Chain A
Amino acid sequence: EAEVAQSPRYKITEKSQAVAFWCDPISGHATLYWYRQILGQGPELLVQFQDESVVDDSQLPKDRFSAERLKGVDSTLKIQPAELGDSAMYLCASSLDPRQGGVNEQFFGPGTRLTVL
């Protein structure tokens, strides 16, 4: 069964360092999402890609966070510099183009747990 892949699964870093997370969506999924989930809360959408284009990054802290999906397939989320408050689970999800299916059912990867010391 096709799955969304994420790496690394765990990352420990010191504040002010740079970190990067990688996501490989299910093949054929045009839409890719990055979420941040703070312990005890629901996931918060950070950025949504349609192919290689960003369609929603309204909740992305752009002073320190960046995301790219250059070829419209896999994606990288970067934080520079990391802050203590960035400690969270970072989830990647993908879906078929909801404009075609009418429903953006998302498939989630296992996540990257980030700890900033």
Chain B
Amino acid sequence: AQSVTQLDSHVSVSEGTPVLLRCNYSSSYSPSLFWYVQHPNKGLQLLLKYTSAATLVKGINGFEAEFKKSETSFHLTKPSAHMSDAAEYFCVVSRAGYSSASKIIFGSGTRLSIRP
């Protein structure tokens, strides 16, 4: 069984300050983990992915995430927030390398707001 929990439904930071979006997961298998971003009236876009290679994963637009197996976490961070980062962010877990019934699970989302 798999599940994913995004610990904050809404995060607000000032422009230029660090961003932290928290995600905890549960999986009976080796997980693949992803972060997606959804801007208003736009499709979901992949930010980064963890596939059991490096535990620190770098993505687009300066975002990165660290896979911590002992804490079952995959938190998303960015050193300095930009106004264009305001969006909804989704953490996703699936069973690594398995096609049939991959059981892809999306978190409930975290809305990121950026204050000028």
Where the two chains meet, the residues of A that have a C-beta atom closer than 8 Å to any C-beta of B are: 4, 31, 33, 35, 40-45, 48, 50, 55-56, 58, 91, 93, 97-99, 102-111
Contact, CB under 8 Å: A105 / B106: no
A29 → B minimal CB distance (Å): 12
Contacting pair B99 A102 (CB below 8 A): no
B32 in contact (CB, < 8 A): yes
B109 contacts A42, C-beta separation under 8 Å: yes
Contacts of A99 in B (CB 8 A): 97-99
Distance A102 CA – B102 CA, assembled complex (angstroms): 11
Given contacts A103-B96, A107-B46, A108-B43, 9 further A-B contacts (CB under 8 A): A33-B104, A40-B109, A41-B109, A48-B104, A55-B100, A97-B99, A102-B97, A105-B49, A110-B42
Size category, B interface: 20 to 34
Chain B residues within CB distance 8 Å of chain A: 32, 34, 36, 42-46, 49, 51, 90, 94, 96-109
Q: List 10 A-B contacts (CB under 8 A).
A: A33-B104, A43-B106, A45-B104, A48-B102, A55-B99, A97-B99, A98-B102, A104-B32, A105-B49, A108-B36
